[in-house]
Structure 1
Amino acid sequence: MRESAAERHDRLLALVRERGTARVSELAERLGVSPVTARRDVEALAGRGLLDRVHGQVSWPARRDAPGGGRPGEGPVIGLLAPSATYYFAEVVRGAHEAAARAGARLVLRVSDYRPEEDRARTEGLLAAGAEGVLVAPGWRGPEDRLAYGDWLAGLPVPTVLLERRAEPGSPLDGLDRVVSDHGHGVLLALRHLLALGRATPLLVARRDSPTALAVRAGYAGALAALGLTEPRPVIDSVPAEEDPEGFERAVRALYEAVRSGPASAALVHNDVDAIEITRRLAELGVRVPGDLALIAYDDEVAALAETPLTAVAPPKRQVGRHAAELLLERLAEGAAGETGEAEARRHLSLLPRLRVRASCGAPGSVPGTP
């Protein structure tokens, strides 16, 4: 895959930060680019105040390593690594940006595109760009990624807050500050609501391709236990319709058969997009939502826009970003003040999702399109 200019700039900044001073010709050689490209990159970064340039050499600005670094007159610079800047994480990023702006800080964003093997390099790029602390939502898709690409986070030289990711108890990451949505609570809200409507024990239709999906699956087992229920049928594995049409159709058919054979009259579906597509396909097969099947989506990104507006569990995404940024800024303020004595205890903050009732669960008084 061809390296982007932003990725090359990150590598260039990291080299200069490591060496303190470097010649442009040396940087070109280390980066594997032409001298013209290296010179152009240096000019661009110097123009943004990220490097000092004098007589064919560049150096790391001394002011960037001072307490409260960044450009003169500016507040602290904080970095945010997210696996995506769209769908779920768009609101997380927005919340962090709003909190940073209110505090007079500058937020710098890097996106990993769910490539956990690149998380470390991208985070180092944030540090090279002047970030004095970082919010990190690693691009993990499952536990194996967390084990293979996780422990380095605990060794970062700046304050770090883990974002929408949980660590293995007792692992180095478990000692970091973190802010997460309590997806187990969100699943419990959905199941309680469907049961209160007189529906049979709800089925779960969910993916396996993200920490949120896995947390929803774990939350389903926990909610059944808390409610004294047994699993009516195994969890139905869902996949994106556009990526795996056959796998998606298998999931729809499994839910269809469960409804038609009798044991299923309610379902929780992760995520919104899958829930919308499943509802449409079920209608083609003669299963009506909410008449035959009360359905709740998980995420509430686009659930209200479905033809039958979907009741949905809404994780507090924007608040997660806001609280995480505020916590990070608090840690930076503690460091800038040079506080001595006992350090503030690390925090694991869990925020509770809400249930937004719409037409798809058949609840009395539910209003189509209610946000």
Structure 2
Amino acid sequence: MRESAAERHDRLLALVRERGSARVAELADRLNVSPVTARRDVEALAAKGLLDRVHGQVSWPERHGDAGGAGGRRAGEGLVLGLLAPSATYYFAEVIRGAHEAAARAGARLILRISDYRPEEDRARTESLLAAGAEGVLVAPGWRGPEDRSAYGDRLAELPVPAVLLERRAEPGSPLDALDRVVSDHGHGVLLALRHLLALDRGTPLLVARGDSPTALAVRAGYAEALATLGLTAPGPVIDSVPADQDPAGFERAVRALYEAVDSGRASAALVHNDVDAIEVVQRLAELGLKVPEDLALIAYDDEVAALADTPLTAVAPPKRQVGRQAMELLVERLTENPAEESARRHLSLLPRLRVRSSCGAAPGGAG
């Protein structure tokens, strides 16, 4: 398989980091590429601040002065930081944006790797970040279910640089559980949704949810916990949702199950994870003659595109951007604090908000 430019850049950075400095001709020879290719790679990496380049020679960037010292430098200025995410779109786009904003404010440079929800690639991707010069990393593993967390979690706990776990909860008592982490409290988000629907006298809501991501599983667990907290019994089992474009038959089964629950009078409210599924569910229910919010009060979970539905959807909004921002601030703190005064590890849970719109029959408003 032909080596990608990103992989070649990682090897080049690893060579310079190991040696401290190198001539471009030497790098071309070690990388087995033409001098023109090596020169272009060096120019691209120097433009990003990952290398210093002078007269045909490159060196690893120097860090002058103490963080926050008399020179007035920001605490993280000059740091190179890495972020491993399962995706750069939908949910994680906002998480990445928050992390990038915090890195920029600290004067640090952020580099990104994507696992595409392949947990077996997580360790290689983090090693790639280290090869690219990352001195600390934010890690959102590509887990889909508990089996991935058990199989791949401990490997990420062995990183040789400070790391913060991002939007993932480690197995209790595992090595990964000893890392700093910043997550959304999805259980709180589900409780907000159920309380809102109950206050509208809509009865106990059903849950329609996927089971293919840690967020989906956390929503499911939060639903069971919320029912217990509120002293309620579910009007029926959780309805398993699947993407309509990937499994049309499975999606139709989910819609029919929800339709029958409403048509029989067992339910008149539902929480649906995620936004895209919720919009498509509402569209299909309308084709079957069931209206939102007249027949069914509905709240979506994620609040990525919920406001864009024909009937704008009330939605639980996890604090995605703030999660990325606070995780990055915590990582910078770890990298710049005095080792003799190192603070205790932290597990931070940030609370989602409820954004009220038209789909639950209530007047649109702000937060819950």
Q: TM-score range by the shorter chain?
A: 0.7 to 0.9
Cα displacement (A) at 1:174:
0.5
Q: Structure 2-normalised TM-score?
A: 0.87
Counterpart of 2:80 (choices 77, 92, 117) is: 77
State whether structure 2 residue 18 is matched by structure 1 residue 13.
no
Structure 1 Cα separation of the partners of residues 58 and 273 of structure 2: 49
Structure 2 Cα separation of the partners of residues 218 and 2 of structure 1: 44
State whether structure 2 residue 213 is matched by structure 1 residue 210.
yes
| Alignment correspondent of 1:112 | 115
Per-residue deviation, residues 233-271 of structure 1 (Å, max 9, x unmatched): 111111111111111111111111111111011100000
State whether structure 2 residue 305 is matched by structure 1 residue 305.
no
Alignment of 1:215-254 (within 5 A): 215-254=218-257
Structure 2 Cα separation of the partners of residues 3 and 218 of structure 1: 42
Q: 1:10 touches 1:122 (CA, 8 Å); kept in 2?
A: no
Cα displacement (A) at 1:67:
7.8
| Alignment correspondent of 1:353 | 352
Change over 3 Å in CA distance of 1:266–1:48 after alignment to 2:
closer
**SS across alignment from 2:340:** coil
RMSD value, Cα? 2.8
Structure 2 Cα separation of the partners of residues 52 and 142 of structure 1: 43
Counterpart of 1:315 (choices 282, 298, 318) is: 318
Change over 3 Å in CA distance of 1:229–1:300 after alignment to 2:
same
Counterpart of 2:272 (choices 252, 269, 273) is: 269
Query: More displaced, 307-316 or 146-155?
Result: 146-155
| Alignment correspondent of 2:104 | 101
Structure 1 Cα separation of the partners of residues 304 and 188 of structure 2: 18
Per-residue deviation, residues 277-332 of structure 1 (Å, max 9, x unmatched): 00000000011101111100000011011000000000011111111111111111
Structure 2 Cα separation of the partners of residues 242 and 17 of structure 1: 45
Structure 1 Cα separation of the partners of residues 66 and 154 of structure 2: 27
| Alignment correspondent of 1:366 | 364
Q: 1:28 touches 1:35 (CA, 8 Å); kept in 2?
A: no
Between the aligned residues of both structures, percent identity stands at: 81
Alignment of 1:13-32 (within 5 A): 13-14=13-14, 17=17, 23-24=26-27, 27-28=30-31
Counterpart of 2:331 (choices 328, 331, 355) is: 328
**SS across alignment from 1:360:** coil
| Alignment correspondent of 1:61 | 60
Cα displacement (A) at 1:11:
3.8
Q: 1:200 touches 1:263 (CA, 8 Å); kept in 2?
A: no
- Give 5+ residue unaligned stretches, structure 2: 68-72
Query: More displaced, 119-128 or 277-286?
Result: 119-128
| Alignment correspondent of 2:340 | 340
Structure 2 Cα separation of the partners of residues 63 and 139 of structure 1: 33
Cα displacement (A) at 1:75:
2.8
Q: Structure 1-normalised TM-score?
A: 0.87
| Alignment correspondent of 1:292 | 295
Structure 1 Cα separation of the partners of residues 12 and 205 of structure 2: 53
Q: 1:27 touches 1:38 (CA, 8 Å); kept in 2?
A: no
- Give 5+ residue unaligned stretches, structure 1: none
**SS across alignment from 1:194:** helix
Change over 3 Å in CA distance of 1:224–1:178 after alignment to 2:
same
Counterpart of 2:284 (choices 281, 284, 287) is: 281
Counterpart of 1:123 (choices 126, 129, 147) is: 126
